Amino acid sequence: MENVVIIGAGAAGLTAAVYAARANLAPLVIEGMQPGGQLTTTTEVENFPGFPDGIDGTELMDKFKAQAERFGAKFLQYDAVQKADFSKRPFKLEMMAGDPIEAKTVIIATGATAKYLGIESEQKFMGRGVSACATCDGAFYKDVPIVVVGGGDTACEEAMFLTRFASKVTLVHRRDELRASKIMADRTVNHSKIEMAWNSTIEEILGDDTGVTGVRIKNVKTGETTDIEAKGYFSAIGHKPNTDAFKQLDMDEVGYLIADGVKTKYEGVYAAGDVSDAIYRQAVSAAGTGCAAALEAERFLEAQGE
């Protein structure tokens, strides 16, 4: 029987582990299949407080984990939750590989996975010019051309944000009009730094040892391919929250958990980080909710006399 089980080992989960461990709750962190979360897919993090010269994303998560371990947090590697039963306490977690786990409280910090097109070259240049977070990585592309793929509000927001840094932003969309809201679409199409590549799809990300050098697009009507010079490629086709195992909880139409702050509809079950955040999706905001979830879990256990 665990006092606190934290599902996920990104910024939210590991911050929750630090706080719960310092409260002598000996939390168990289920690391899942991507320990460290989305930060491990980027090479340099420049916007996390306390690191004025920036820090490698994986190194930052390693520091988070070491801090949690120092205070007594436990870690379960190479396993993930496939089903959760929150209908009664203790809560029961069915694992993909190991034995079921029972918990007095649960913090869900499984994050959200950025959607990519699935072409091989996206993975090849991940963290070396390929990104899904303009806020995280936009500042690395000052005065160079970049490409964004997508056609909804997310794509328009990313493209608009990136104009602060890039010399030119090419927005690639497979249709001849954007799916975004009219006001956002109009701003994007009429922006002096944004060039539209209508009726086009991404064929390949081009690059060399230095990273991305260009993007090959294909016109879906003519079949013609064109190589566009670019130092960065941003996928802006959305995120998928990692919530498949938590069907008992309330979610929005995309799959983000609905919480009151960090509290779900079940007492003792909390949501932290990108799993319930469709707006900010930043490491520092995830860490903040991880802290809040751990404090709520501690207070709940105290109230239960546990």
22, 2 in Cβ contact below 8 A? no
Main-chain dihedrals φ then ψ at residue 126, nearest 5 degrees: -60, 125
Q: What is the DSSP string of 228-296?
A: EE-SEEEE-S-EEES-TT-TTS-B-SSSPBP-BTTB-SSTTEEE-GGGG-SS---HHHHHHHHHHHHHH
CB-based contact 62:37 (threshold 8 Å): no
* Annotated catalytic residue, options 53, 79, 85, 137: 137
Catalytic residue among 53, 79, 136, 277: 136
Do 30 and 8 touch, CB atoms closer than 8 A?
yes
What single DSSP character describes residue 57?
H
* Backbone phi and psi for residue 247, each to the nearest 5 degrees, phi listed first: -65, -20
Active site residue 136: yes
Give the separation between CA 239 and CA 279, rounded to whole angstroms. 11
Given the residues 85, 133, 143, 209, select the one marked as catalytic: 133
Active site annotation includes 277: no
Q: Which burial class, exposed, middle or buried, applies to 143 when counting CB atoms under 10 A from its CB (0-12, 13-18, 19+)?
A: exposed
Active site residues: 133, 136-137
